Amino acid sequence: MNLKQLEYFVNVAELGSFSKAAIILNIAQPALSRQVRLLETDLRVTLLMRNGRGVVLTEAGQRLFDHSVGILQLVARVREDIDASRDEPAGRIVIGLPPSMGRMLTLPLVEGFRRALPKARLAIVEGLTTHLAEWISTGRVDLGLLHNPEPQAGLEVTPVLDEPLGLVSPAGRTDRKKATVSFAELIRYPLIVPERTHAIRKLLETEAALAGHKLNVAMEVSSVQSILELVRAGYGHAVLMSTALAASGQPGAFVLRPLTEPCLTSTLCLAVSAHKPATPLLKHALRLLRELTLAEAGGNSSHNKMR
């Protein structure tokens, strides 16, 4: 068992496919398969099971995967520490973004890294806040942006931006004379909302319960982009932030009316692991991500409160 084999195995496991991993690793697929088989032979276990869609981890494979991620991250930190001694932030860093922020920040992040951190390798993953929080806590992601994260011992969280929530309706199909919508009025609108684990859904359900109301949930859809498509087609309304409309690429297709009585806000936070040392690369990446978030997301609404 060697580091190269562990790297190959982790890539296959994460991508769920030998062919996809071979492309990412720039290695012939037969050679990649041979290295994983050698690893299985050495450990005397089956690590991956093939199915119609690719491969999945066995129980032994999951155990090795959890160990391997930590081992490879430790090796990466050793290299980063050595590079940092030359005052040159280098190495690989993984940034996690919510899907709407991913569409807004991916290009600026790539350009910012090439300009300010040319020796660093950037990877960007997208996911819901609950998933990103878990990935940061377990070390699979180095830092990320989370909406309204719940307190966790494994996370260090810094608020960056407060984004007011509003009722999103299709343009031309709503009363433009009414500039705001109270929470009591909100329950009359058929809503297209994410599943219950989503940060905004939790916020709405909590407020509704405190007020003794029940949301009028017409549909549950995970993707914010899909929610907006359904709203535009007239299937219902949504409760989102202005940044979600900006990320859609067609903000003019919607009308956003702030929620009042009470005013609800979603807090966007920077999060890192509470257990990993802050390397020079991580510090640079945190500063860059904060600056870009305030520049890109903070400028989308004059009501956004920066921290």
In the chain, where the domains are located: 1-86, 88-161+266-307, 166-263
**If one looks up domain 88-161+266-307 in CATH, what number appears?**
3.40.190.10
Identify the residue with better confidence: 250 or 27: 27
Q: What is the pLDDT of residue 10?
A: 93
- What distance in Å separates the CA atoms of residue 190 and residue 214, rounded to the nearest whole number? 11
Q: What is the mean pLDDT of residues 277-291?
A: 89
Q: What is the pLDDT of residue 200?
A: 85
Q: What is the pLDDT of residue 158?
A: 94
Q: What is the pLDDT of residue 90?
A: 75
Architecture field, domain 1-86:
Orthogonal Bundle (1.10)
302 has pLDDT over 50: no
End-to-end CA distance of the chain: 48
Per CATH, which fold does 166-263 belong to? D-Maltodextrin-Binding Protein; domain 2 (3.40.190)
Whether 88-161+266-307 shares its CATH topology with 166-263 is answered yes
Lowest-confidence region among 6-15, 174-183, 233-242, 296-305: 296-305
The mean pLDDT of the chain is: 87
Place of tokens 């129980």: 59
Q: What is the pLDDT of residue 78?
A: 79
